[in-house]
Structure 1
Amino acid sequence: MFRFVFLFFVFNTVSVSGQGTASQLLHGKVSFEMTGLDGIYVVNLKTENTVITQDRGAFSIMAKVGDTLVFSGFQYKKIQVVLTDEDFGGSLFVVRMQPIMNQLNEVVIKRYDNINAVALGIIPGNQKSYTEAERKLYTATDLNASASAGGMAGGSVSADPLLNFLSGRTKMLKKELEVEKKEQYMKLLEKMFDRDYLVNRLKIPLAYLKGFEYYTVENDKFTKILVSNNKVTTEFLLGELALKYKEIIACENE
């Protein structure tokens, strides 16, 4: 009889203790290969409380032993973790994410390096390739010695460059070429750094995102580094421009 009462007392003590465990603030970090990941969603399935990791992957969420936390983010595998006593032991709770690998079927590409427009005689070799804006400007300013000037002194050069200059067409085409270059810089920037990087890592407000891209390509030093495809140097300079741009935004909003 004594043994039965003792076991009943122990069972009820453990049960009451487990039910009375209060939620507490769990501090943690989400990372991938020693790099903190910001923008990762952390969801407590029991309470439905949700937070997003901040700078260097840090987060804090209310939870208790037995709760299940779900970690999910763009291009990373979803992870579920059931919390234990050890997770609240005082040290930082660390979760390591794994990227989603999209495996493609094998593609065999046959190269025909010797067959091209030059080899086929369609265009002469060593010919400069022009963009549309460059071609328009070149045509408008080229001095064609074989053309008649139509009454100009000597009649040895075309009158088109002079007429284009006087009419303002040359100036307009130069501006068009500058716009084309900036568009190419912006495409290169967007290819190298996606929207998530600019918004979540550099903290550029979404409403100012396009304005920031225009701001960067107006910087000659940045565009020279950008076209060099040196991502490390480009990323460093982009971070400096982001700080200056956010200062401009702050001044405008005062």
Structure 2
Amino acid sequence: MKNNFTFLLIFFFLTHFAVAQEGVEKWIKGQVSSDGIPLEGINITNATTKVMVVSDSYGAFTILVKVGDILNFSAVNYEDLRKYINIQEFKMGNIVVDLTPKSIELKEVIINEHSEISAENLGIIPRDQVKLTSQERKLQTAGDFKPVHLLGLLGGMLAVDPILNAINGRTAMLKKTVTVEKKEFLMAKMEVLFEDKYYIETLKIPEEYIKGFQYYCIEDQDFARSLKDKNKTMSMFLIVGLASSFNKNRQSDVENH
């Protein structure tokens, strides 16, 4: 009987404590990330009070809650998440949230909707001929870019040309032109993939630095590969870290000058 009374007393105390906690509000700290990477610019809204805060560059935020409140986490590039605040988290005053990136394929710019009409189908060029850009064709003529089957066709006609180009530097110039052409292609993909609003509001890149940041991104081999592979999820994952690095370097330059 004594043991039952003690149990009931403890149960009553814990129940009373839990009910008392439910009506109390306090500030708690949180950290939001994705695969271990802190996320900046995530909107966190208390569904009960309608109060909204935004995570900082370290993914950290502070918000006023009580037990039982539901926090809504939302961002353009991540799946929405609803988080229930339980008693344990309320007592500790800390929560950690991990968001999942949205899987969105890169937009494709359709230049010719009638893809069945091509030079190969019309018999103008062989079906197995390598397609080159205009600058790559010039570099091929200069003797440095040599697809195997075309080399046999050109034969001795190009044998003298590389020697002359080595003298006047034309080959080196054309190599640089091909590199620039490839970077312009990546830049065009970035302009389709991300709007200026995303750079300014989410990545915190000032509008006048957007173009410079885009060039900064395509110099990164992993990011350039994600663009070529049309892997938007990886591009969005990498660009957050690149933006953080770019902003730190930019701030350092400002302070040094």
TM-score w.r.t. structure 2 length? Answer: 0.49
Bigger relative contact order, structure 1 or 2 (CA pairs below 8 A, ≥6 apart): 2
Of structures 1 and 2, the larger Rg is shown by 1
TM-score w.r.t. structure 1 length? Answer: 0.49
